[in-house]
Amino acid sequence: MADRSGHDLRDAVDSGKAGREPGRRPREASKAGLAKAVRWLCDSRT
């Protein structure tokens, strides 16, 4: 993402939006999903 100096202090994801759309549900809670993604990233870099 290109730097937009002065616009946003940080980027964040709203996973709740996926749960509000019909037929879409998150497969994992955000904390568990994040931990799983970090483990996968660390394992894939070795």
* 35 — pLDDT class (breaks 50, 70, 90): very high
Determine how many CB atoms are found less than 10 A away from the CB of residue 15. Answer: 13
With CA atoms as reference, report the closest residue to 15 among 36, 1, 29, 32. 29
* CA 32 – CA 14 distance, rounded (Å): 15
| Residues of the chain above pLDDT 90, percent | 22
Question: What is the per-residue pLDDT across 2-24, written as a single tens digit (0 to 9) for each?
Answer: 666 666 667 777 767 767 777 77
The whole-model pTM stands at: 0.43
Q: What is the DSSP string of 1-46?
A: ----TTT-S-----THHHHHSTT---SS-HHHHHHHHHHHHHHHT-
Distance, CA of 33 to CA of 16 (rounded, Å): 14
Q: Is the pLDDT of residue 38 over 80?
A: yes
